[in-house]
Amino acid sequence: MDFKKFKAATVQTSPVFLNVEKTVEKAITFIKEASQNGAQLIAFPEVFVAGYPYWNWIMTPVQGSKWYEKLYKCSVKTDDEAMQPLFQAAKDNNIHIVIGINERGDSYGEIYNTNLIIDNNGILIGKHRKLVPTWAEKLTWTSGDGSSLKVYNTEIGPIGTLACGENTNTLARFTLLSQGELIHIANYISLPVAPPDYNMAEAIKIRAAAHSFEGKLFTIVSCSTISKEIMEALKEDVPNVEELLTRKNSAFSGFIGPNGAVIGEPLIDEEVMVYADIDLEKCIQPKQMHDILGHYNRFDIFDLRVNVAPTRKITFVDNHEEFNKRL
């Protein structure tokens, strides 16, 4: 058997707020640097292209409505011209990319929090839409469905991804583990507006460690930061925005090994890119102890069913008899 070994990079930084083209350019700068340093995989934060709806947390829904319009106008589809340089960068630099975007739906009230999985040939091999927007996010994003709960086989190993709070969802995580996931990308946003007793950096680390320890795999965490540019943009509507969006221990990025321990030094709040060497062979011995996909489970007792069918908004029936059968 061939157990892959490779270097991975993870980025902790902010997007160029609500600017797709400049954010893609910023991402490509990191991609080139990571590739030059030997990385074969790079992870970017949640909705990195091109920004998180912080207004949902610090404005009323009515105040924030104009900001939703701005976000919709700069949301993207994967075949948009502005996105093509990102795919080309993956190919040119022979690197796999997982990156969060605001994906534009077909209706004006439809934006998805989506993670893209791009292989080293520049091919979009998958995308995952966040299953449930978290808390105030429900004012912005539409829920995804089970069709995107997939693990993708790549040259460096099987990759799965979940966005931010859904890394708390045990059933979603088990669904990925059951498909042979060995490399998990968990991306987040910095959240200074969490309750006072909530340490966002610690909460991110706990979830990543839990998934790695339970599944005996590698978790790569990428979290965004909040730039002065973002705060300046929101300041006219929220004069005390710095007070609300400045707080220590609001971001965590780094690597967790199959034993649940942090690899190297994690990033707390600072903007930088870090690397780790990943050796998938290290997933074997821990599974001898606890393999919840094999000997350490009881599938004669537990039965998880997952609906992986894409959501259908409407069904047209052109036959009266067929239509009446459904009533």
Q: Which of 26, 103, 127, 164 is catalytic?
A: 164
Q: Specify whether 214 is catalytic.
A: no
Q: Which of 26, 46, 127, 283 is catalytic?
A: 46
For residues 24 and 85, the answer to whether their CB atoms sit within 8 Å is: yes
Calpha distance 201→188 (Å, rounded): 10
Question: How many CB atoms lie under 10 A from the CB of residue 70?
Answer: 15
Q: Indicate the DSSP class of residue 243.
A: H
Q: Between the CA of residue 224 and those of 151, 191, 218, 267, 269, what are the distances in Å?
A: 24, 9, 20, 11, 9
Q: Specify whether 164 is catalytic.
A: yes
For residues 129 and 192, the answer to whether their CB atoms sit within 8 Å is: no
Contacts 24+ apart (CB under 8 A), 206-213: 207/167, 207/168, 208/167, 208/254, 208/256, 209/256, 209/260, 209/261, 209/262, 210/260, 211/167, 211/173, 211/184, 211/186, 211/256, 212/184, 212/256, 212/257, 212/258, 212/259, 212/260, 213/258, 213/259, 213/260
DSSP bridge pairs for 274: 10
Q: Specify whether 181 is catalytic.
A: no
Calpha distance 112→74 (Å, rounded): 13
Q: Indicate the DSSP class of residue 76.
A: B
Three-state DSSP class for residue 179? coil
- CA–chain centroid gap for 235, Å, is 27
Q: Which of 26, 127, 130, 150 is catalytic?
A: 130
Q: What strands, in cross-sheet order, belong to the sheet with 96-104?
A: 124-129, 111-118, 96-104, 39-43, 5-12, 272-279
Q: Give catalytic residues, as residue numbers.
A: 46, 130, 164
